[in-house]
A and B are shown apart, each in its own frame.
Chain A
């Protein structure tokens, strides 16, 4: 059924440019969002997704035909694509949105990803993406892509094995343990933190990445509307926590725990 021979897999890795995880974010005074004039980098879970795609190719030399990375975002998202190319991805696709456009919702983003998959004339066999972006913390997009495509999904993956005959065995993190599922390709996998440790791009690879192909496409060309359905009324600071001060010794600590009714 698939246009690709069973032994040649095409991997698509959707990635997102997020505020760097080490930045202490600040809510803007108008309470419409956060101050985004700060350092950005690739969503950490997406780095793991890129790494896993590369490792699949290293493990199965002849099995992975291509690794494409995709981002949907403002012009600056191109830096994130170049980072993924420098890590070792082959090609990049940028669905470019205006710099001042609001953050896309997972549903709109998932539709854009599905539309990109539909345009890939050789098809896509595996979509690997982060389990959530560390800005919106929604954790929905992968499942939505799988739902839109009618594909199998394996969420919060901690290990991925490619089998003969077009299936994957994926260990997934569930509450209180692990679950192993077998997924028929094409499939969507979302990455948990423990799947791997992403590599750093070396300087020569960063230089090489500048020459790798990057295709631009607009949401209009894909026929998707990224306008959010949910209205963000405001963004506020969480209540400030006031430290209760220090205790002198263990006895005082135990007394304080008793006072709080904990022990």
Chain B
């Protein structure tokens, strides 16, 4: 039980300052296969909205972050760039990356007041762990952020109850550091076409974690040409009315292909085995907010609406005119989906 000791030996939460610190954001730049993740671009926009300088942090394996650094330098809004490389960052794990962030925050002259990332699976694993070791709260999935320079507080808006309510929360000015993740669909994406000449690039020594309790075994990414459901700008979703897996695929895939859309599903469709769990849209699945959401054979139970009602344009195809989905749809078509969807595919091909 030696490890339990560090519960007691938590660092002091509050520091006192003569005046409110001006904000300086540190944005975790997430990348995979040499490409900066799109969620990071939204996180960067949120960071610039705080006012004050914005520093990026690139963490990765040696020899694999050079392209990322070159591309990151061009991101609009970034004023400085830190990077740290070590073989242990090949696959970023919370156990190895959070000690690095902690050391950056706790360095004597650390100017950082806010640590920001997208609300990605990786960052969701890292930032709360970091927050606990720094003894500060974290704020998840924010849709709005504002920093008050007069009193040093930061105010966030974030959806709760699966988006059925919005909470406005305020972090006190004496918080050691603010840590939050950003809902990508709520912030525009920072442009990536600056010259980058003014960005100061600085290496940070990695914090080696000998004997990490967790090791990476392997990563298997879905080999699909379709965009990822969480970030797709268009989503085609099916429900129980699709009858079975064969008709689900045969009906939805041509439409998804013609629109370049991701495929989603209602919980009923997932429970009946028409679609994989990872495709579930709703309160217990993914929350999406694409430009276009087409709900096919979905009645629109509140649990499903919770996952997609922030979509910009909603189309419903359902033969029941009383289905609740029609109440939120921008265009509701009351028709048999097995004839309407193929017809829609044909007409979209010509359009």
**Is B215 interfacial (CB 8 A cutoff)?**
yes
Stretch at the interface among B52-60, B166-174, B187-195: B166-174
Q: Which of A207-263 contact B (CB under 8 A)?
A: 228-238, 241, 243-247, 249-254, 256-258, 260, 262-263
Complex: how many Å from CA A234 to CA B334? 39
Quote the shortest CB–CB distance from A185 to chain B (angstroms).
Answer: 9
Report chain A residues within 8 Å CB of B170.
230-231, 233
Of the candidates A1, A45, A250, which one forms a contact with B343 in the assembled complex, judged by CB atoms under 8 Å apart?
A: A250
- Encode B123-156 as 1/0 by CB contact (under 8 A) with A: 0111111111101111111000000000000010
- Closest residue to B211 on the A side, CB-wise? A184
A73 at the interface (CB under 8 A from B): no
Check B98 for interface membership: any CB of A closer than 8 A: yes
A160 at the interface (CB under 8 A from B): no
**Min distance, Cβ A160 to any Cβ of chain B, angstroms:** 13
Secondary structure of the A contact surface, majority rule: mixed
In-complex Cβ contact of A244 among B228, B330, B351 (8 A): B330
Per the 8 Å Cβ criterion, residues 218-241 of B in contact with A are 218-222, 228, 230-231, 234
- The docked-state distance in angstroms from the alpha carbon of A105 to that of B302 is 26
Nearest CB on B from A246, distance (A): 4
Give the one of A146, A228, A258 with max B CB within 10 A: A146
Asked if A246 and B1 make an inter-chain contact with CB atoms under 8 angstroms apart, the answer reads: no
Q: Are A181 and B280 in contact (CB under 8 A)?
A: no
- Bin the interface of chain A by size: 35 or more
Contact status B219-A177, CB under 8 Å: yes
A14 to B91, CA, bound (A): 29
User: What residues on A are CB-neighbors of B220 within 8 Å?
Assistant: 177-180
Residue among B128, B140, B141, B292 with max Cβ neighbours from chain A (10 Å)? B128
- Let me know if A249 and B335 touch, CB within 8 A: yes
Q: Are B284 and A180 closer than 8 Å at their CB atoms? A: no
Q: Is B168 a contact of A233 with CB atoms below 8 Å?
A: yes
Interface centre among A147, A156, A244, A263 (most CB of B within 10 A): A147
Q: Is the CB of B167 within 8 A of A174?
A: no
List the B side residues contacting A233 at CB < 8 Å: 155, 168-170
The distance in angstroms between the C-alpha atoms of A34 and B331, with both chains bound, is: 31
Q: Chain B 276-306, CB within 8 Å of chain A: the 1/0 string?
A: 0110100111000001100000000011000
* Residue among A107, A117, A177, A252 making CB contact with B136, cutoff 8 Å: A107
A253, B331: Cβ atoms closer than 8 Å: yes
- The answer to whether B328 touches A241 (Cβ under 8 A) is yes
Give 1 or 0 for each of A106-131: 1 = CB within 8 Å of chain B CB.
11001100110110000100000000
Chain B interface extent, by class = 35 or more
Q: Contact partner of B328 among A22, A44, A194, A243, CB < 8 A?
A: A243
CB neighbours (8 Å) of A176 from chain B are 221-222, 228
Interchain CB contact under 8 A, B333 and A253: yes
Does A150 lie at the interface of the complex (its beta carbon under 8 Å from any beta carbon of B)?
A: yes
B132 touches A234 (CB 8 A): no
Chain B residues with Cβ below 8 Å from A1 are 2
- Shortest CB distance A255–B (Å): 9
Given the complex, which residues of A lie within 8 Å of B133, measured CB to CB? 147-148
Give Cα A107–Cα B131 distance, bound, in whole angstroms: 8
Whether the pair B217, A151 counts as a contact (CB closer than 8 A) is: no
Query: Contact at A118–B128, with CB atoms within 8 Å?
Result: no
- A183 and B164 form a contact (CB under 8 A): no
User: Do A34 and B128 contact each other (CB < 8 Å), given the known contacts A22-B302, A106-B137, A137-B159?
Assistant: no
Give chain B interface residues in 158-214, CB to chain A under 8 Å: 158-172, 175, 212-214
Q: Which residue of B lies closest to A114 (CB)?
A: B7
Q: What separation, in Å, do the CA atoms of A142 and B291 have in the docked complex? A: 33
The answer, yes or no, to whether A200 is at the interface (CB within 8 Å) is no
Assess whether A81 is interfacial by the CB under 8 Å rule. no
Which residue of A3, A25, A105 contacts B161 across the interface (Cβ within 8 Å)?
A25
Q: Which residue of B lies closest to A187 (CB)?
A: B213
Instruction: Please tell me if B6 contacts chain A, counting CB pairs below 8 Å.
Output: yes
Residue of chain B at shortest CB distance from A131: B124
Contact A147–B277 (Cβ < 8 Å)? no
The answer on a CB contact under 8 Å between A235 and B167 is: yes
**Is B89 at the interface (CB under 8 A from chain A)?**
no
Max chain A CB contacts within 10 Å: which of B6, B94, B161?
Answer: B161
> In the assembled complex, how far is the CB of residue B262 from the closest CB belonging to chain A, in whole angstroms?
11
Contacts of B310 in A (CB 8 A): 238
What residues of chain A lie closer than 8 Å to B278, measured between beta carbons? 173, 194
- Residues in A neighbouring B222, C-beta threshold 8 A: 176-177
A194 and B137 form a contact (CB under 8 A): no
Some 23 contacts from A to B, beta carbons below 8 A apart, are A24-B302, A44-B284, A115-B7, A123-B1, A144-B129, A146-B132, A147-B94, A147-B133, A148-B6, A148-B132, A152-B213, A174-B121, A175-B228, A177-B220, A231-B172, A236-B165, A238-B164, A243-B326, A250-B335, A250-B343, A257-B351, A262-B313, A263-B259
Given contacts A147-B133, A247-B332, 11 further A-B contacts (CB under 8 A): A34-B165, A107-B137, A139-B141, A172-B121, A175-B120, A175-B121, A179-B91, A233-B169, A235-B165, A241-B328, A257-B313
Ranked 3 nearest A-B pairs via Cβ: A152-B213, A147-B132, A194-B277
B-binding residues in A (CB < 8 A): 1, 3, 19, 21-22, 24-25, 27, 34, 44-45, 105-107, 110-111, 114-115, 117-118, 123, 134-156, 158, 169, 172-184, 187, 192-194, 228-238, 241, 243-247, 249-254, 256-258, 260, 262-263
